Amino acid sequence: MSVKQSVSPDERVRVVEAARVAGLDSFDTPTLAAVERRRLQLWAMTLLLLVAVTLGIILLTVIESVQL
């Protein structure tokens, strides 16, 4: 059972923009390759953020111990 609802042009523009920000160029079902590529991008960003935070903590610890 499907229900069709009309979408206002403003809502469509917001959805299109949100899809574009999320890395989807269209409303087509993404391919498995596109999903895997996006997943790899998210893992890379997560790892980069984790390394940056770790290095920041180490740097702050070293700077504080040098000042003591």
Residue 41 lies in a domain: yes
Query: What's the average model confidence in pLDDT over 17-32?
Result: 77
Give the residue from 6, 7, 4, 26 showing the smallest Cα distance to 16. 26
User: Can you tell me the mean pLDDT for 57-67?
Assistant: 89
- Considering only residues 6 and 60, tell me which one the structure prediction assigns the higher pLDDT: 60
| Dist. CA 19–CA 24, nearest whole Å | 5
Residue 37 within any structural domain of the chain: yes
Cα(10)–Cα(50) distance, integer angstroms: 38
- State the pTM of this model: 0.55
pLDDT greater than 70 at residue 27? no
Domain range for 57: 9-67
Q: How many domains are contained in the chain?
A: 1
Mean of pLDDT over the chain: 85
**Is residue 23, in this structure, part of any structural domain at all?**
yes
pLDDT in tens, 30-60: 789 999 999 999 999 999 999 999 999 999 9
* CA dist., res. 49 & res. 67, Å (int): 27
